Structure formats: C-alpha cells, structure tokens
Amino acid sequence: MRATTTHGYARFTACFLLLLGVLTGGESLSATDVLQQLPRQWLDDQGRTLDLAAFSGRRVYFTMAYASCRRICPMTIARLQELQREADRNGESAEFVIVGYDPTEDDPGTWQQYRRNRGLDRDNWHFLSGTAGNTEQFARRLGFPFWKYDRHVMHEYRIVVVDEHGQLAAEYTAASAQTHVWAASDSPQKNSSQAE
C-alpha cells in the first residue's frame, strides 16, 4: 500500500511541476542577485515610485496579496507580523514587501487603506502596485502561481526570503510547518511544488 501511495504522490508532483511550468511560462530565477532579476519599478501605498534595488544589502520578505482576500492573504500577513516580531526580538532589521496580485484593484489608495485598517504602519512594510506585466513577471520569477476566477484571485500561501547578499534564503509555505532553506542551485519553481 505504501508503494502505491508513494507512486501516486510522485505522479502528482510531476504533474504539478509540469502545470507550474506552464503557468509560470517556464521562467526561472537564479538564486543570486535576486533583486536585479525582478521588475524594479513599483508604486508604494503613498503613490511614490519605489525601485526594488533600494533593498539591496537588506533582508527582504516578499509575498503577494490582494486587498479583498479573506482567507489566504490574512494568514500570510499574520505570519509576516510574526516574522517582524521575531526580527525585533533578535535585534535584526528586515523589509517586508507585499506586491498586489491585481494592479487594477490593488492600487496605492487601496493599499493605504488596507495598512491603516490593520495597523501596519511601520516604515519597513511596503505595499506595492505595478503594471500587469511587472506583476506577472514578479510572480513567475519568485514562484507565485495565480490565476483569476470570476472576481477572485486564486493563489497560495507563500513567503520568499532574500538575504542581505541578494540570494534566495528561505521560503514559507502552507504545506510545510518549517521553512525551506534554499541551496544555491535551487530555484523558486523547484521548491514551490512543496506548497501543494
């Protein structure tokens, strides 16, 4: 029975990786100089232009969300708040970057209200909006598969960490109770299969 279950899981994983390759356009991200490989120009929740290169030399927690999400995004934001408290306890600094899945709905004004309603007012939290092209490229490169269904954005719980050296350092997913720490040869697409 165990062999059948293992074989079924292996088949599921292979199918998922194939589907993920199709959804992400097969685009891959090297584990080094991550910030240089992402779209750089965004608008923050104040309507100011922000270049991701500004985070060079800093530890950055990246996720994607949409303001009207009622399930996954609140869990993700809560986890980011835990990570903020942990960094504070350890005397570490970090940047928390949330990129909107839906640029037409998650504009600077929407993100500003979202922050205000949730008390997310620290300067190291950045809620960003971009063009549809930049948003899709960001999602593909960091392994955030998503699609729209009616008025909803279908997505998973995922946080990607880039360290002070610009390297992929870790990921947090719903499927694992622990963080996956990337080896230099890993890519987000290889590891996002763990979230299913």
List domains and CATH numbers for the chain. Answer: 2-195 (3.40.30.10)
pLDDT over 90, % of the chain: 44
pLDDT over 70, % of the chain: 68
Token pair 């293992």 is at which residue?
A: 6
Indicate the pLDDT class of residue 104, thresholds 50, 70 and 90: confident
pTM (predicted TM-score): 0.75
Name which residue leads in pLDDT, 66 or 31. Answer: 66
DSSP 175: S
188 CB-contact burial (10 Å; exposed 0-12 / middle 13-18 / buried 19+): buried
Name which residue leads in pLDDT, 127 or 145. Answer: 127
Q: Quick one: average pLDDT of 140-150?
A: 75
CA 17: distance to chain centroid?
18
Contact predicate 127/111, CB 8 Å: yes
Predicted pLDDT at 29: 54
